């Protein structure tokens, strides 16, 4: 299985330009799973709900069409973030698409900072998607902070966590090592680079997109400031058996009667 990410530097509000920039990076790469950043087509630092609304789409919009076309090139699954509008609510979402169309939609559960002014928190259960033989869990950016997110996805059977992000804090890349170890899963964190100064907010995104192995190894780490693409080969059988030695099985060993 070949999995990877594109790390981009979105131009705020310029969807077509952001699509073009990804087309330039992707060229002829084949990938079973390719993860794009959170809100990769729109940028992140909104200044009003009207602005968020004007950049919103549903699963039949131009971002969906772009990603389905992209999947025709990679021949695999693409996971990428977008501003979703559904029944007059706005969500910070990620769509999961193949060349055949939309496979799923995830609405970010844990909103960070002013996202709470623009978006409704996710109202759909965490879910695992199947593509070929891979079970894929999806979470977005700040979801990493809550160990329950990755844990729930792993208990649902995820082999790999697709993790679109727009990280501004410096902690996530290192935390993903622990997230993968404690659940014996792979993870692909696709972060963005660049900065956005809008109104009183001035965000510097931290780059360093990362592919993390079930054993805590960092299989790929992107630069801090430049767009980047990387793909690595992984073995699914490594994560299907949750034993870590002859005595310990990380799910069976849970003492859930004592957990809150």
Using CB under 8 A, list all residues that contact a second copy: 109-116, 121-122, 125-126, 142, 145-149, 151-152, 155-156, 171, 174-175, 177-179, 181-182, 216, 245-248, 250, 253-256, 258-260
Q: How far is residue 226 from each of residues 28, 32, 48, 203, 222, measured CA to CA in Å? A: 20, 24, 28, 16, 8
Residue closer to a second copy (CB basis): 69 or 178? 178
- Among the listed residues 149, 67, 156, the one whose alpha carbon sits nearest the alpha carbon of residue 108: 149
C-alpha 176: how far from chain center: 12
Kindly state the smallest distance separating residue 243's Cβ from a second copy, in Å. Answer: 12
* Sheet of 128-131, strands arranged across: 128-131, 134-138, 160-164, 186-190, 210-212, 218-221
Q: Which of 38, 57, 115, 196 is catalytic?
A: 38
Rounded to a whole number of angstroms, the CA Rg of the chain reads 17
Catalytic-residue membership of 14: no
Residue closer to a second copy (CB basis): 48 or 132? 48
Kindly state the smallest distance separating residue 147's Cβ from a second copy, in Å. Answer: 4
239 Cβ partners below 8 Å, 6+ apart?
159, 160, 184, 185, 186, 214
Q: How far apart are CA 217 and CA 73, in angstroms?
A: 29
Catalytic-residue membership of 141: yes
Catalytic-residue membership of 38: yes
Q: Which of 15, 84, 115, 141 is catalytic?
A: 141
Residue closer to a second copy (CB basis): 57 or 159? 159
Kindly state the smallest distance separating residue 194's Cβ from a second copy, in Å. Answer: 22
Residue closer to a second copy (CB basis): 111 or 239? 111
Q: Which of 15, 57, 84, 108 is catalytic?
A: 108
Kindly state the smallest distance separating residue 246's Cβ from a second copy, in Å. Answer: 8
Residue closer to a second copy (CB basis): 100 or 260? 260
* Sheet of 33-35, strands arranged across: 101-107, 89-98, 77-86, 33-35, 2-7, 228-233
Kindly state the smallest distance separating residue 68's Cβ from a second copy, in Å. Answer: 28
Catalytically active residues are: 38, 108, 141
């Amino acid at each position: 299985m070949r999995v990877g990410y594109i790390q981009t530097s979105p131009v705020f509000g310029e969807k077509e330009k952001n699509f073009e920039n990804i087309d330039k990076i992707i060229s002829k790469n084949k990938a079973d799973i390719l993860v794009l950043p959170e809100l990769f087509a729109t940028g992140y630092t909104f200044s009003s709900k009207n602005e968020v609304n004007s950049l919103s789409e549903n699963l039949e919009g131009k971002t969906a069409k772009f990603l389905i076309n992209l999947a025709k090139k990679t021949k695999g699954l693409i996971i990428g973030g977008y501003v979703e509008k559904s029944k007059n609510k706005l969500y910070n979402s990620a769509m999961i698409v193949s060349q055949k169309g939309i496979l799923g939609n995830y609405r970010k559960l844990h909103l960070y900072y002013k996202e709470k002014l623009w978006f409704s928190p996710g109202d759909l259960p965490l879910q695992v998607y199947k593509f070929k033989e891979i079970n894929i869990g999806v979470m977005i950016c700040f979801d990493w902070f809550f160990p329950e997110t990755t844990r729930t996805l792993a208990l649902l059977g995820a082999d790999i966590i697709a993790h679109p992000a727009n990280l501004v804090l410096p902690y996530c890349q290192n935390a993903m090592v622990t997230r993968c170890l404690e659940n014996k899963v792979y993870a692909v964190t696709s972060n963005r680079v660049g900065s956005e100064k809008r109104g009183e907010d001035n965000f510097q995104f931290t780059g360093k997109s990362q592919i993390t192995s079930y054993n805590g190894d960092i299989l790929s780490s992107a630069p801090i400031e430049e767009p980047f693409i990387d793909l690595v080969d992984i073995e699914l059988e490594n994560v299907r058996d949750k034993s870590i030695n002859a005595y310990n099985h990380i799910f069976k060993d849970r003492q859930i009667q004592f957990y809150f």
